[in-house]
Amino acid sequence: MREYMKGKMLPFKPEEWNSIVTTGIEILNENRIWPLATLIIGLQGETDKDTVATLELLDELRHCKVFYVPLLFTSEEDCMLKEARHMDLKHLTPLQSDLIATCWKRNIEVFVAKKEHWKIKLGTMIAYAMYYRWKHGRKLLKPIMKFSGWRE
């Protein structure tokens, strides 16, 4: 937040970000508003510490209704990071893969009826067997199993 989005949380400090987000989403949920939250993964200079901090924020929000959209970083022509390398599935760290899986697992838990979860389990394993295993190897198996509900 401090490096690329200094003004996003003004008049608050970057250290207060988790509290601002948590309080804001709780207020929205109390008023039956379920926000969509985008998370950019793979920003230039992102560390495992940053990814862990994001996972901790998701843990703080586990009782809230939020639809998470994890996005892989893509630089735009007119932005300060236009020269930065785009993020793709090949370059994700295990922690970043876990972050994406956690986001989709939460989405499924909140927005898909329990009786429909079997369809997600079946569909994700078919997709893995028919496409992702051949395209990305075993790297995506654990994240896919996590968000589909096959493992924690």
Which pLDDT score, from 0 to 100, does residue 85 have? Answer: 67
Alpha carbon distance 83, 61 (integer Å): 33
Q: Which of 93, 111, 129 is the last residue of a domain?
A: 111
Q: Does 10 lie in the same domain as 45?
A: yes
Q: Is the pLDDT of residue 28 over 90?
A: yes
Q: What is the CATH number of the domain that holds 77?
A: 3.30.750.200
Cα 125 → chain centroid: 20
Q: Does 118 lie in the same domain as 92?
A: no
Q: Does 52 lie in the same domain as 78?
A: yes
Q: Does 93 lie in the same domain as 51?
A: yes
Q: Does 23 lie in the same domain as 67?
A: yes
Identify whether the C-beta of residue 128 lies closer than 8 Å to the C-beta of residue 144.
yes
List, as one string, the DSSP characters of the chain.
-TTT-TTTTTTS-GGGHHHHHHHHHHHHHHTT---EEEEEE--TT--HHHHHHHHHHHHHTTTS--EEEEEE----TTSTTTTSPPP-GGG--HHHHHHHHHHHHHHHHHHS-GGGHHHHHHHHHHHIIIIIHHHHGGGGHHHHHHHHTS--
| Percent of the chain surpassing pLDDT 70 | 88
- φ, ψ (nearest 5 deg) of residue 37: -120, 120
pLDDT tens per residue across span 128-150 = 999 988 888 888 889 999 989 88
Q: Is the pLDDT of residue 13 over 80?
A: yes
Q: Does 48 lie in the same domain as 87?
A: yes
Q: Does 52 lie in the same domain as 118?
A: no
What number of other Cβ atoms are within 10 A of residue 5's Cβ?
12
Looking at the structure of the chain, the number of domains it has is 2
Q: Does 106 lie in the same domain as 124?
A: no
pLDDT tens per residue across span 44-94 = 888 999 999 999 999 999 999 999 999 988 876 656 566 666 777 778 889
Which pLDDT score, from 0 to 100, does residue 3 have? Answer: 64
Q: Does 2 lie in the same domain as 63?
A: yes
Alpha carbon distance 112, 129 (integer Å): 23
Which pLDDT score, from 0 to 100, does residue 79 have? Answer: 62
Q: What is the pTM of this model?
A: 0.78
Q: Which of 78, 94, 111 is the last residue of a domain?
A: 111
Which pLDDT score, from 0 to 100, does residue 124 have? Answer: 92
Q: Does 86 lie in the same domain as 150?
A: no
Q: Does 86 lie in the same domain as 61?
A: yes
User: Would you say the C-alpha torsion 110, 115, 120, 125 has a positive or negative sign?
Assistant: positive
pLDDT tens per residue across span 90-133 = 788 899 999 999 999 999 999 999 999 999 999 999 999 999 88
Q: Provide the residue range defining the domain that includes 121.
A: 113-152
Q: Does 146 lie in the same domain as 76?
A: no
Point out which residues pair with 40 in neighbouring strands.
Answer: 71
